[in-house]
Structure 1
Amino acid sequence: MGFSGVRAGLAVAAAAVLLAGCTGTVGGTAAPVPGQGPVKPVVDPCRLLDQPQADGLGYQVPGHGVPASEAQRAPAMCLWHSKDDTQDSVILNVGWAVGQTLEDYLQGAVVKAPPVKLGGLDWTRYGSFIPGSCDLYTTLGAKSYAFVSVSFKDEDRACELAKLTIPQVAAHLPGGRPAPPITPPVSSSPAQPSGPLATLDPCTLLKPEQAAQLKMQSTGRKNTSQSPTANVTYCLWDDTDGDRGQKAFEVWLGPDVPVTKWVGMDVPPIAQVDAGGRTWSVFGNFNDSGGVNCAAGLALGDTSSVEIVSGYLDDPAHSCDAVKAGIPLVTANLPA
């Protein structure tokens, strides 16, 4: 069984435990069978994070144990589900192996980041076949290792959570340092956006007479979108020249969206427009191979921005006309 097969089987087993809600732990001490030599020690990875630690890190307690599997060459592990029980929740997986080398388990997995010292131990990040998973491993002996893995929709955030967890886990491993205090408690949920854009109605950014000046319908329609984040609202003013020619005019608000995160704005702009003391970046051929769309973005800080989108169907040379004409109008209506 190759690298992906071994670890895929492990993930399936872990998922089954989460669904089943198994929380039982078998007690006792393994004893050798006469004539068969020593028995491998049995480890309980759920003890690598006690309940106050898991609770402080934002996970439901207790964890769900998965025994080691010789058939899958998988170590014993324990899983915790974040308290934020939504489709974007976090899964923490902690593993502890004895009687197996890390190389035998990883089987050629790619190193994704150099070792980092956390909790007194060296941890190395290896690649995972699971999207959004951040997996860090430490070697505890010739045939012993441990890992901390966090799965989340945002891989960078998953790594942040993994590195916050590791010092707590390391305190229970051989050679680990005492755990630092967890203050404040860690939440997997991003902070709710704040600032003037969080409560602003995008339809107030173009007054009826201004919309008419752009040859748009005087009243816009407010909508919400799941892209690029769930905290995006926009207003659309329909064009007035039929199915061809000028396209609708849209204003998008991203209270927690950096300007470079809008689709198509991770490349150099084709122009910059100054209005009301603010500088907008203009992007032609926006998200469109035909060159009929145009967008402009304005950063209102490191983590918030405004976007204008429009276009012209019959002549790419006019695709940015409405966007550029609308920039000073929208700017004048933005909060100070």
Structure 2
Amino acid sequence: MKDVRKKHSKRVTVIGGGTGSSVILRGLKKYTENITAIVTVADDGGGSGVLREDLGMLPPGDIRSCILSLADEEGIMQKLLNYRFEEGRLKGQSFGNLFIAAMNGISGSFMEAIKNVSDVMAIKGTVLPVSLESVTLCAELANGEIVNGESQIPLKAMEKKSKIKRVSISPHEINPLPEAIEAIINAQAVIIGPGSLYTSIIPNLLVEGIEDALRRTKAKRFYIPNIMTQPGETDDYDVLDHVEAIEAHLKNPKEKIFDYVVINRGKEIGEPLDIYKSGGAERVRFIEEKFEGKSYKLIKGDYIDIKQNYIRHDADKIAEVILERV
């Protein structure tokens, strides 16, 4: 394996949002500073949803997480921006979200606010919303019911015991951030995922121009599915189910938008897996025979990292295995 840590010029673009992107970004920043994170703007739940509704701003939660992941120092400022109020009217709200909201208030635009917060945190890389337009995520369930709102989709799917058939964004055509398109086109590696399949990954791909940019780029393109299924989103899904769900949402599903699929073939997880199972999650199965005849290149290895019973990808191993192919 090449020592990719000595190379600091690889241009990497990560598409997603939430915890999944944050984990991968923490690994990548040890190997390159030329990182761009493109983040979904469909979040309408929790503290982000409150700020989105009250202030009419884009949801800051996933953007905050990515900025913190790319920060040069993960000390007291990290703890401060991740702090969530435990009582009063601000209960459940994170200080980081309020910080971005305040910065948005004193800045000329939301993009300027993100840049200013990024400068304060001295991040290695750039964080971009996929669009500056307000978006509502909608889902059609297998039973025909339509659900509006990112936070409601998995809840309704579980309540109705009906799988997600398809998601869409409203308005249907929104403009991408030009810098996001540029970051995809100019990248040497584009990483899609990990993250919530229907509420973090696919919404980015539905934004006008993103799918086309993923086909035009000369970058090596990687998809990283989640290690665990998510109740209400990917119950009983195996790796190929994740891939085919993405393909089904493309304008031209016959033209693939990634070259590699990173497959976790890690050791038995043990007690943490039991904890996840009690919440309705299972390990995402990989059935190699199902990929026969597919043109995807499979990268298989032990990429599990368990800390405090949280099952995550091993960000360092993922960064190495991707960058050595670029």
What TM-score do the two structures reach when normalised by structure 1? Answer: 0.23
Give the structure, 1 or 2, with the largest relative contact order (CA under 8 Å, sep 6 or more). Answer: 2
Relative to its length, the structure with more helix (as a share) is 2
Whose radius of gyration is greater, 1 or 2? 1
More strand as a share of residues: 1
